[in-house]
Structure 1
């Protein structure tokens, strides 16, 4: 798997002395970009992109080199995800869920916890991991579950419940799931975190992904009806509610940071398209390119100012995880804040790009129109705006009184 250092960073990226290494070539990204509109129009899965990314070694990006991967840091992987999102947002979002699990395993491995080393090894051998945690109406996210985890008597569990937004549904071979075990000890219920396999059965994937945007991700509903995880694939049994277990911290930090990178990539691409468009379009009133219109220039400047402030934040927060900074609960504030700032700002940037680029962006065939639809998905991922504000307020004011 080739890993290269870029000769120069894109103009909207900061240029730290230590440039992030890259796996994705410009040629591969252009190939993937060329398919994105078709997948969006046909509501089809990105199977061809996944095959190319696998062949490039991209699915092993964060696996340590001594375990067969490229050894990219979380910061470097986030930058690569931003580049991929600029080419095909739905592909990047779906691949993101695989990278999240590799990020969790890496988080634990670097802190002396080998409980997920098997995941790093299986990733190096080509397994693809999916994220089966989201549930309709579950605003507790990692702190509770509507899914039932039934003990099998030998340390394993079968899972019964419905998971939504299961990205990369056609492609995963291993699915991370969680459910509530309130049968083993009704006075001490536990959230069970485990992995099930595709060939193990016990689940149904519904063909129900017909959405406004992020269509190629095929984040279909998954009904668990006996999907089984043996004892050696049960990772944690954690009491419901807030937890500083490194497994939970690993999930939260990896998910929020990598998710933010996808929406940063969308915003970066939207700004680039807007700049290209306003240099080409000409005003009948003045005869000049729209790039000479003061109002257009203000909008472009506004979008760039907002976007430029996000890249250093991504680098800082991801870099703290890579450096194993001991922030503990502080990671919830910093990563949730990053995710919300990025997804909200990305929508503003795409909106400015649309306003600069004219009515042609209202057509589905427009790439900017597609980015406009894709960027909206950011508001639905955890942490949402309300949850992030609550997290930050609690870090400053303490918990709410009973």
Structure 2
């Protein structure tokens, strides 16, 4: 089998264009529609779709490498497309385990559909285990969803919104219902995305006013709370691993910029390049030591998902842990890169200035630091008593 070549999907010249555009979209608070068009042309929307369905037939491990590479050029573009890749990744995870409920996602992605991720809700720290969105069953097997979703990346362009809501009226309820709704008049997208960083994701608030998911787009009904159902496992694992990939890509770019700057800057005091300064060398070594731990962890976990390794009792702690480590390590590395680069990085024209703002978003995605620590504590100590 030939080695995977990320440049076949993301060549250097394309990444250079993405990087140039990233500064403009960040400044203007606009969605990178031009990036999306290029990614579509490169077959990126169907990376995880089987070749027999018109996709690239890649695994989660290869998609992770590509997302790290893309995030190094345009973090917000990578984070946006992440949410589409989550659903195609979940479709692959389920199909690999004998569940064909999301075949329409695979076929849709190959045909150019854009899938958005409608799970997050304000104040809902249950995330996958509960929902404040009402899912009302209809006589024809469809569901009407009413509620508000936040942080809906790809807001200006998505064609299908994958979401969940709570059915409290069915005889076997309550049930969490996972389904997909098309963009209709029953879906209102607020123009409210004006944030510190990751501005080009345009992750706007989405209002659902009886938005209907057809019966054939209702993919799962599960009990609320922690659940071994494949869709919960699929969403959690793919979401966490691809998020970790994006922030690992940011970390690598910050490290590369720090190395580049250290080689170019010259000390007035010694006349030598900063790369020869022992304090700068120590700082960059510290950054590299932190970064080097991330790609192997992500590679091992993505391969385990691709290889259908049965999850054990620690699986959720592995996934939340690697996302937490990637986000916090990336922030540390960007902080250090700014110190290496000096005062010029304080100007908004500096790429590091943008990375500094972009990387902060990693602390807010599930699993946030509190949730990650709670999950890992439960894995090691058992649940809290009482």
2:185, 2:107 → 1: CA distance? 22
1:35, 1:373 → 2: CA distance? 17
Structure 2: which 5+ runs fail to align?
A: none
CA contact (8 A) 1:21 1:76 kept: no
2:8, 2:225 → 1: CA distance? 38
The alignment of Structure 1 onto Structure 2 pairs a total of residues equal to 385
1:288 matched to 2:272? The reply is yes
Deviation for aligned residue 1:5: 3.7
Partner of 2:360: 376
1:329, 1:147 → 2: CA distance? 30
1:96 matched to 2:82? The reply is yes
Partner of 1:76: 62
Of 97, 103, 108, the match for 1:122: 108
**Aligned with 2:161: secondary structure?**
strand
Partner of 2:176: 191
**Aligned with 1:240: secondary structure?**
coil
Of 195, 200, 206, the match for 1:216: 200
CA contact (8 A) 2:167 2:173 kept: no
1:307 matched to 2:291? The reply is yes
Deviations 1:157-199 (A, max 9, x none): 11111111000101111100111111224x831111100011x
CA contact (8 A) 1:257 1:318 kept: yes
Matches within 5 A, 1:164-179: 164-179=150-165
Of 22, 27, 30, the match for 1:41: 27
1:25 matched to 2:5? The reply is no
RMSD: 1.4
Of 226, 232, 247, the match for 2:231: 247
CA contact (8 A) 1:4 1:22 kept: no
CA contact (8 A) 2:4 2:62 kept: no
Deviation for aligned residue 1:397: 2.0
Of 149, 167, 172, the match for 1:181: 167
Partner of 1:234: 218
CA contact (8 A) 1:244 1:328 kept: no
CA contact (8 A) 1:4 1:21 kept: no
1:398 matched to 2:361? The reply is no
Partner of 1:150: 136
Which 4+ runs in 1 deviate beyond 2 A? 3-6, 328-331
Deviation for aligned residue 1:278: 1.1
**Aligned with 1:87: secondary structure?**
coil
CA contact (8 A) 1:69 1:124 kept: yes
Deviations 1:309-330 (A, max 9, x none): 1111011011110111001543
CA contact (8 A) 2:167 2:175 kept: yes
Partner of 1:86: 72
Q: What TM-score comes out, normalization by structure 2 length?
A: 0.97
Deviations 1:264-313 (A, max 9, x none): 00000000001111111111111111111111111100000000011110
**Aligned with 1:192: secondary structure?**
strand
Structure 1: which 5+ runs fail to align?
A: 7-19
Partner of 1:275: 259
Partner of 1:348: 332
2:271, 2:67 → 1: CA distance? 40
Q: What TM-score comes out, normalization by structure 1 length?
A: 0.94
